[in-house]
Structures are given as C-alpha cells and as structure tokens.
Amino acid sequence: MMKSKKPGHFTPRVIQSRFPAAWTWFVDELIPATAKKKYSPKESWKEKPFSKEDARFFFKGIEELSNLFTEERPKGMVPYFNHPKYRCAYLLYFLPLQAAKFLTLFELNPGALKAALQHGREQKVLRIADIGAGPATASLAFLLWILENEKGEIPRIEFYWSDTQSDILKDGKELVESLSNQFPKLRDKVEIHLSTLPWWKSASRLPDELSLTFLGHVLNESAVPTQMSEAFWPDLIDRASGGGVLMVEPAARKSSQYLSRLRNELFSNDCIENTPQRIWGPCLHAGNCPLAEGRDWCHFSVPTKIPGEWFKGFSENLGSERQWVKFSYLWVASASHPAPLPPATARRVISDTLSQGLKATHLLCEPDEARKWNPPSGVRIWRGDVVKLSKGREEF
Ligand SMILES: C[S@@+](CC[C@H](N)C(=O)[O-])C[C@H]1O[C@@H](n2cnc3c(N)ncnc32)[C@H](O)[C@@H]1O
C-alpha cells in the first residue's frame, strides 16, 4: 500500500475493481450463448446468437429473482434454482455481479491468492473447494483472475463444488469447461468434482488439503442450527491450507453480523489461533468484532463499472445501474500460509463519514468497541481504508 503525503495516514484504497481481459468475452458471449442454448423454450432458437429479444424474454426472471433476493425472508430462502427460469436469470445477471465481487476481493487481498498459488505449486495441483457453488461463480472468477495474472505455467486445477441444487452445478460445469477450452493455458488442466449436499455436511467429502476454499453468498440462505454446523468449521479449517477460506455475503446487517459472530467463535473455540495473522481481511486484530451486534455492521462498497453490454442493459432495466459492488466478507488465512502481521498502529475504517459538527468523524475497528476518530483536516477517508494512528496500541 502506498503512503500518502499526510503523516500517519495510508492512502485510501487504490481500488476501483479491475476486470481481466477475458471478462468481456465471458459475460457478453460465453454466458449468453450458454444460457440461451440451455434455457430457450424453442429448439430452433438455441443455436442463434443472443439478441435483444432474448434479453427481453429472459429479463422477467432476472426481475423476479432480484425481488426475491431483496425481500425479507423470515422462513429462509425458497429453493429457487429448482426453476429453470431462475437458473437462467442467475447466469445472465447475478453471476457477473457476484463474480465482480470475488475479483474485487482478489484485488484487495493479493497475498491470499499468492499463498494459494504457492501451495498449489508445492502440491503440483491446485485443489479448490467452492461450497454453495451455484454456477461456480467464485471458481469462474478465479480462472479469469489466474488467466490474467499468472504469467508462468498454471498448475493442474481440481475443483470440488457442492450445493443443494445439482442442476445449477451442471450449468457451472459447462461454463468452466467452455472457458478452459477457450484458453490454451487452461486446456486439459481442469477437473471438476460435484456433490449435492448442504454446506454443513460438505467438509468431510473434501480432500485433506485444499489450496483455496470459497463460500459465496450461501450462509445467508439457510438458517442452520449451530449444532448442525459445529463439526463443519474445524473440519473445513483443518483442510484449508494455502490461501485459506474466503466467505462473501451480502452487505446487509444480518448476513454481515453472522460473519462477525462466526469469526469471534472461530477464535474463541480455538479453530484458529488468536492472532491477526489468521485473517487476510477485513480484520486487523484478533479481538472481538465490535460490530457483531447492534446498529452498525461491517460491510464495504467499492466503486466499480462492471463491463458487459447485456449486464448494463439488465442493470438499467432493474433501475440500478451498478456504480459499486457491495459485500461483507471474511477471509480466514491458513495456518501454513498466515497473513503478514499488520502494523500495531494500523486501523480499518468501518464507517462512512458520521456527520458530527464541523469535523468529519469515522469509526475505526478496535476489539469490542469501535473508536471514534477525526481524520486530519483535508484528508478524504472512505469506509474500508486503513489508517495509521500516531500513538498506536498503547492507547487502548
Ligand atoms: C446466491 S447463490 C450463490 C451462488 C454462488 N456461490 C455465488 O456466489 O454466486 C446461493 C447458493 O447457495 C445454495 N444453497 C442454499 N442453501 C444451501 C445449503 N444449505 N447448502 C448448500 N448450498 C445451499 C443455493 O442452491 C445457491 O446455489
């Protein structure tokens, strides 16, 4: 991270999400062609190029699914992927949207990806679990990332995907196979293993040592009694070497606070050692999360323009042209490849500007209780920035 000219302050996240060169082909050609081939109601349409009429036809499912995702659902989520209309809607719109979040998180935590690759090289195979994989969103984002960023030989890749809905896993398999065939660097290198299982039963079916593990937007979909999942986490964390476990959830309070409480339990149950080196992000300390309950919650927004003509059209029709990607996340580092120890004076900004009098005030993340902080005048601070305090830990 670059230092700004102001003492005691790291520059705001450099970040605008960046998209790999293959992204536009992926979202404008591969996804629409696959969705149309699999989900057109008429045989004669299936091999024709995706058109504006198709976009109009499939948009209804996108709109309905978007409403379903934003509704309060006290009884948990209905199994929407049983319905072909919603599988197709997810491929066309939500897959690019969620993949953009994974790419953004890869950008924010490059050390974790480096650890995954290093572990994969040592093992001569990258074993990657994607739990609640849906159409393999996280795995696809990883392949796009590795195509763009790995200049040398890519090791063999074995994917282990699980989900309660098998048809959407098959859609993901088709996409990953087409993507891998398109690029010589990936051709004949990718092997896919599928299981139809709830997430809390999936760990024992995974290989003993994984290079990277994803849980994307799945934990918020099922209200799981703790006793059903309590064996899952230690088992998963034990297997998660290399780049550790990345969990991404919506930016909403309920899903974010679930992640915060899970994080606290992983520490307090000794699933992970009590050091910030067991977390890639967003936390810089290993104390209790100050936002695990109450009014505020830990979430981030990153300025983004997601490339893709069809995606743009769908966003406009939903009345929400995307300027940001928003998410909550927890990236647990592995014991074998821990994250670097953050400087003792570094703090994560966990609020937007709180309007309080003339001085801008922000919340900084500290164990148990967030600290109010006024940035030096003239410095613009964003939620998610890392700032450096002048007096450091001796202050608390
Ligand atoms: C919003 S989709 C996310 C898919 C993909 N991981 C992504 O990030 O785009 C949620 C996925 O979780 C799956 N799911 C819901 N409840 C589940 C459970 N109890 N165990 C495993 N998967 C589940 C759904 O079938 C769906 O594929």
d(CA 92, CA 225): 33
The DSSP 8-state label assigned to residue 375 in this structure reads P
- Map out the domains of the chain as residue ranges: 23-332, 346-395
Q: Out of 161, 164, 170, give the residue to mutate to test ligand 1, the one with the largest number of ligand atoms within 8 Å of its CB.
A: 164
Q: What is the pLDDT of residue 380?
A: 82
Q: What is the pLDDT of residue 377?
A: 80
CATH of 23-332, one of 3.40.50.720, 1.10.3210.10, 3.40.50.150, 3.60.20.10: 3.40.50.150
Strands annotated E in 219-269: 245-249
The CA R_g of the chain, rounded to the nearest whole Å, is 21
For the CA of 79, the nearest atom of ligand 1? 25
Cis peptide before 338 (omega within 30 of 0): no
Q: Are strands 300-303 and 324-332 parallel, antiparallel or unpaired?
A: antiparallel
Q: What is the pLDDT of residues 31-75, one digit of tens each?
A: 999 999 999 988 888 889 999 999 999 999 999 999 999 887 766
Q: What is the pLDDT of residue 74?
A: 63
Q: What is the pLDDT of residue 31?
A: 98
Q: Is 282 in the pocket of ligand 1 (CB under 6 A)?
A: no
Q: What is the pLDDT of residue 195?
A: 98
Q: Is 163 in the pocket of ligand 1 (CB under 6 A)?
A: yes
List of the chain residues with pLDDT < 50 = 1-12, 14, 392-396
- Percent of the chain, pLDDT > 90? 80
Q: How far is the CA of 393 from the centre of ligand 1 (A)?
A: 40
Q: What is the pLDDT of residue 4?
A: 39
Q: Answer whether 133's CB lies under 8 Å from 161's CB.
A: yes
> Looking at ligand 1, which residue's alpha carbon is closest to its atom 20?
198
Q: What is the pLDDT of residue 148?
A: 96
**Entry pTM:** 0.94
Q: What is the pLDDT of residue 6?
A: 42
Tokens of residue 33, six digits: 């062609």
